[in-house]
């Protein structure tokens, strides 16, 4: 019997996925789960959580997967985040992270809005820097990716 698995894949639950492969799989889960016309329809919280994990997988995969992160970063720059005093005054990345968290708690969300908001958070929170409270979910997600072989 021949194995087509990559070397070292025996230590992973699913075999070798790779960061790009995980990004593809999670994107499929998110898109079809939010659409909800199949066997699985994601609730608002599950869609948000799935989007956060999917966004974190994009960060890990890099290359073409980094495009959504670049769009989010450009959007924050447009609002003047991290660029000194702007139209809204001086807005730091910590304020942007806190604003996203507040929206997660109080905004009326449906699965699509939750997916967009949580994906934006997955790209924004790590920008606050290692050691900040906002980086903890990303670090936790990265640790989970190691378990699953990505």
CA distance 20 to 111: 24
Q: What angle do CA 148, 26, 107 make, to 5 degrees?
A: 120
- Give residue 1's pLDDT: 39
Return the minimum-mean-pLDDT range out of 7-11, 103-107, 126-130: 7-11
The model's pTM: 0.80
Min mean pLDDT across 78-82, 99-103, 125-129 is at 78-82
Residue extents of the structural domains in the chain: 12-147
- pLDDT of 99 above 90: yes
Mean per-residue pLDDT, 106-121: 95
SS3 127: helix
Q: Which pLDDT band holds residue 49 (cuts at 50, 70, 90)?
A: very high
For the chain, the average pLDDT equals 84
């Amino acid at each position: 019997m021949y194995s087509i698995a990559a070397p070292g894949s025996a230590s992973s639950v699913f075999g070798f996925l790779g960061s790009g492969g995980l990004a593809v799989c999670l994107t499929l889960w998110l898109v079809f789960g939010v659409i909800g016309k199949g066997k699985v329809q994601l609730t608002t919280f599950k869609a948000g959580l799935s989007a956060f994990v999917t966004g974190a997988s994009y960060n890990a995969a890099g290359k073409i997967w980094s495009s959504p992160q670049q769009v989010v970063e450009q959007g924050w720059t447009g609002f003047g985040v991290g660029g000194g005093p702007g139209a809204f005054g001086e807005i730091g990345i910590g304020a942007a992270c806190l604003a996203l968290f507040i929206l997660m708690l109080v905004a009326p969300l449906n699965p699509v809005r939750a997916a967009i908001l949580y994906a934006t958070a997955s790209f924004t929170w790590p920008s606050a820097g290692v050691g900040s409270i906002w980086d903890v979910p990303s670090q936790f997600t990265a640790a989970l990716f190691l378990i699953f072989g990505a």
